[in-house]
Copies of this chain bind each other. A is one copy, B any other.
Amino acid sequence: MEMTGTNNTQVIFRNYVKGYPKETDFELIKSSLTSLILPPESTAVLLKNLYLACDPYMRHRMSNQISNPGTLINSYTPGSVLVGYGVAKVVQSKHPDFQEGDFVWGLTGWEEYTIIHNPSSLNKIKNIDVPLSYYLGVLGIAGIAAYIGFVHLCSPKAGETVYVSTASGGVGQLVGQFAKMMGCYVVGSVSTEEKVDLAKTNFGYDHVFNYKEEDWGEDLKRYFPQGIDIYFDNVGGQMLDEVLGHMRPHGKIAACGMISQYNLDEPEGVKEMFSIITKRLEIKGYVETDFKHMYQEYIELAVRYLKEGKLVYVEDVAEGLENACSALVGIFYGRNVGKQLVRLADK
């Protein structure tokens, strides 16, 4: 059993969050490693966490959702270790499917070592000749969200016009590349000039605009004179409202995320709803974890594309748990350039 040091550094979720999360909503503590003992009669595994993902959906789990159980998202428990997607190495196993030394990805704790009591929730990593961190991005739920939402739910055709909000984010950068592979015209929006360059140069977007600097409505009119066939929505709110007015008849909207709304006490109202009827729009909400049966198919495809150089992936990696909360808070301000991760160890 491979463990170093005498402590397990952990990120504790202090209490329910209102508004934007702050670093002080979390606390870094050091627990004793001696508590990390697998129950004798269990099928548990002990993980050494290597990479953690900073994912927008985590914001919901920081809210008190008791009053809104229909959302299917459980709140974090105040005082407990934060939970999120991670890539980890199995350092001890009582489960027949997992051996010491296996690499896995799935929900884990924001801490150095985690006991997983039901390892069937973990995904064993088969292809290890790509960066392991990719299993939190292009080969993880971000990639699956992009693939399911864009390719599977919107069935894009060559020549269709596509708009992607957060064009350089963990999901958006992939939607842009998939759209180009499929012969679409694709335009994205981002929050800085640096990301404009990144999205054009690395991800092949036909046009990218900085939504913080420019008039969205004018940009959308300029770049989509005939309207938008597919909107891949990562932001919701006012941008979704504006986009509805620019959709082409029979257009499709993949509702993947609404990050602009997550830190508001009350969501913004979307007014342009009547366009749904006059333009015969289809809006599809989805959650990538409903498509587990398609994970392996997608991962094999994406690994092949990565090896062939058809797909690239840009990550923004923070170093160590001491920088993890700042990185997590940062994604809600758009500070990350590419998929935001935290590296705890390489192997």
Beta-carbon contact of A267 and B278 below 8 Å: no
* A278-B71 contact, Cβ under 8 Å, with A269-B269, A270-B269, A273-B270: yes
Complex contacts, A311 vs chain B, CB 8 Å: none
**The stretch of A6-14, A32-40, A250-258 that contacts the partner chain:** A250-258
Contact B267 A268 (CB under 8 A): no
Q: Quick check: A277 and B272 within 8 Å, CB to CB?
A: no
Q: How many copies does the complex hold?
A: 2
Residue from A269, A272, A279, A281 having most chain B Cβ neighbours under 10 A: A269
In the bound assembly, the distance between CA atoms of A269 and B255 in angstroms comes to 18
Q: Which residue of B lies closest to A241 (CB)?
A: B269
CA distance A284 to B274 in the complex (A): 12
**Chain B CB within 8 A of A276 CB:** yes
Binds B, one of A102-110, A166-174, A209-217, A285-293: A285-293
Would A287 and B282 be within 8 Å (CB), given that A268-B271, A270-B269, A271-B269 are in contact? no
Interchain CB contact under 8 A, B285 and A280: yes
Is A283's beta carbon under 8 Å from chain B?
A: yes
What are 26 of the A-B contact pairs (CB < 8 Å)?
A70-B279, A71-B274, A71-B278, A71-B279, A73-B278, A236-B274, A237-B273, A241-B269, A255-B273, A255-B276, A257-B277, A258-B273, A258-B274, A261-B274, A266-B271, A267-B271, A268-B271, A269-B271, A270-B273, A276-B283, A278-B287, A280-B287, A280-B290, A281-B285, A282-B283, A283-B283
